[in-house]
Amino acid sequence: MATYPPNVLNPTVFEVPEPPEEFGQDGGKFYRCYDALAEEIDEDMTNGLKEQLDGLLIFAGLFAGVNSAFLALTLPLLSADPADDTNALLQQSNAILLQLASGRNDTLPAARPLPSESFSPPNSVFTVNVLFSLSLTFALISSFLAVLGRQWLVYYRKRSGGGTDRQRWEQLKRFLGAERWRLELILDDVLPFLLQTGLIIFCTSLLLYLYYLNPSLFMVVGVPMYLGLAIFLASAACTDIGGSAGDLVKSARKNPWAR
């Protein structure tokens, strides 16, 4: 395995040796190179995904707690307030007592229907609760998948016995399986996307709830929230454009006809 002296502009470069006609005749040189490269690739992938999933789990837990607090405020708005029925019954009782006290007991006032019988939640309240619940669902799904991802990383790095040849075969089989199922893409891109989608839905439902409470409060909170959302979307678009341009440059460099 040939190496070049490291410097700032040209770090250490490893040249993969050509596979021998029969493995073992090169004194294990090819296997040592393979083990080093496989260990480096697995270490980089698992460490990066662990940090990503740890941060996602922390944020998802905090986000789910905040979302649940708002649901505790908005869910009671979907049902009638028991105090309204109590007040209506007290008013009817007072009317009957006044008639009895004045000596007019010939006709009693007819019982009026309770407010809960004709209660119907406003459409805005129903929409707010649906969006809050949907946002919490996204947070829970992303947390569940992140826990599964952590378990998969532990399984991926776990090696059984049986010698180095069996361990190499296990590592290769798991690596090819991860590539086939695109697990790195799911854990590194799909899970944050789910959580970000839940956050955007939560912000939308929060603005609707504030508008239901007070339109002036909606304007005060809505302006910085819309500004933050615009910055987020712009940064995401710039990241996608930069990644596409980088892929084009790499493909152009690899294309011999572009030279």
Structural contact between residues 206 and 128, judged by C-beta atoms closer than 8 angstroms? no
What per-residue confidence (pLDDT) applies to 25?
66
What per-residue confidence (pLDDT) applies to 59?
94
Chain centroid to Cα 8, Å, comes to 39
What per-residue confidence (pLDDT) applies to 40?
87
Structural contact between residues 17 and 32, judged by C-beta atoms closer than 8 angstroms? no
Count of CB atoms within 10 A of residue 115's CB? Answer: 16
Q: pTM for the complete prediction?
A: 0.72
Half-sphere exposure of 50 (CA within 13 A, CB side): 12
What per-residue confidence (pLDDT) applies to 62?
94
Chain centroid to Cα 124, Å, comes to 26
Enumerate residue ranges in the chain where pLDDT < 50.
1-11, 244-245, 247-259
What per-residue confidence (pLDDT) applies to 145?
92
Per-residue tokens: 69: 């607090």
Distance between CA atoms of residues 14 and 12, nearest Å: 7
Distance between CA atoms of residues 24 and 21, nearest Å: 9
What per-residue confidence (pLDDT) applies to 104?
67
